[in-house]
Amino acid sequence: MMSRRKMKLRRQRFQMTRRNMIGLFLAFLFLAPLAWSLLVSFKTSAESRKPPLPPWPTTGFSTQSYQNLSDFGSGIWTYTGNSLTVSLATVVLSVVVSLLAGYGFSRFHFPCKNALFVLIIATIMIPFQSVLTPLFVILSKLGLQNTLTGIVCVYVTLQMPFSIFMMRNAFDAVPKEIEDAARVDGASVIKVLYRIMLPLVLPGVATVAIFAFLASWNEFLAALILLTDQQKYTLPVLMVAVREGQYGTIDWGAVQAGVTLMMVPCLVVFLLLQRYYIRGLTAGAVK
């Protein structure tokens, strides 16, 4: 009897050790590129052009790459401000529009409701590259071409199918009896939405916000084509300009410094909202 218990404990210990080793290995795979970029960004420009191994600086840590990045064009803070402006505006508009649309698709009945929802979801299958030319023409007609406002409109439009899908599923997961009880107490539709329903669908809102921020923060192609003024470039476009460098040379240290700066807001946003993010995806998966 003792031997069986010992064997069981030993088997459980072995399984736990194996799971921990697999977890550590997966964590290493995810963290290694981040650590690599951070270490290379502290190499001197001359050392960053040498073979990448070892990834850490061998001639001492240097902030020259960050200085080169800051001195390029209008300065790193101008492009960071452009990216933050575009990303935050995209998050706010995506959340507000998808919140109202998701609530409408979930709680109200109107003609062609299901067909309209399927039509919105179907736009996910349209390649973004195929609509760039029509978007360019539309923005030119509206006077929004080469403006951050135009870029925000494009990003919000691209986020709508997934955001509306997430918010409709989030509202569907809330029992209708809660809303009916608030209506009986005399609450209006707007009050029910913002006082009763919004706290209950907060995980879905966080999921939409995270996806909208990451997509707009890292988006490159639309910003490259629709923005022609260097003062309005976002950080991904700046990375391409830095890579070209003077006489076509590539400043790998400045590139890695830019990559390091770009991933900091993404990590902060994800770490702040990760608990809502998991719950939001789970609620969407159930429905």
pLDDT (tens digit per residue) in 119-128? 888 888 888 8
pLDDT in tens, 48-87: 667 777 777 777 777 777 877 777 777 788 888 888 999 9
Q: How many CB atoms lie within 10 A of CB 184?
A: 8
In the structure, what pLDDT confidence band is assigned to residue 274 with cuts at 50, 70 and 90? confident
In the structure, what pLDDT confidence band is assigned to residue 282 with cuts at 50, 70 and 90? low
Please tell me the predicted confidence (pLDDT) of residue 94: 92
Pick 200 or 244 by higher pLDDT: 200
The answer, yes or no, to whether residue 34 has pLDDT greater than 60, is yes
Radius of gyration of the chain (CA): 24
Mean of the per-residue pLDDT values of the chain: 82
Q: How many CB atoms lie within 10 A of CB 279?
A: 16
Mean pLDDT of 164-182: 85
Please tell me the predicted confidence (pLDDT) of residue 281: 62
The answer, yes or no, to whether residue 186 has pLDDT greater than 60, is yes
How far is 159 from 136, CA to CA, in rounded Å?
Answer: 18
Going from the C-alpha of 178 to that of each of 103, 169, 172, the distances in angstroms are 14, 16, 12
Task: Give the residue among 74, 33, 76 at the shortest CA–CA distance from 55.
Answer: 33
Token readout for 85 is: 């402006």
Instruction: Give the type of residue at 270.
Output: F
The answer, yes or no, to whether residue 92 has pLDDT greater than 80, is yes
The answer, yes or no, to whether residue 89 has pLDDT greater than 90, is yes
Q: Which residue has the tokens 């006082």?
A: 195
Going from the C-alpha of 244 to that of each of 38, 62, 249, the distances in angstroms are 21, 22, 6
Are 111 and 141 a contacting pair, CB within 8 Å? Answer: no
Mean pLDDT of 110-116: 87
The answer, yes or no, to whether residue 101 has pLDDT greater than 70, is yes
The answer, yes or no, to whether residue 118 has pLDDT greater than 80, is yes
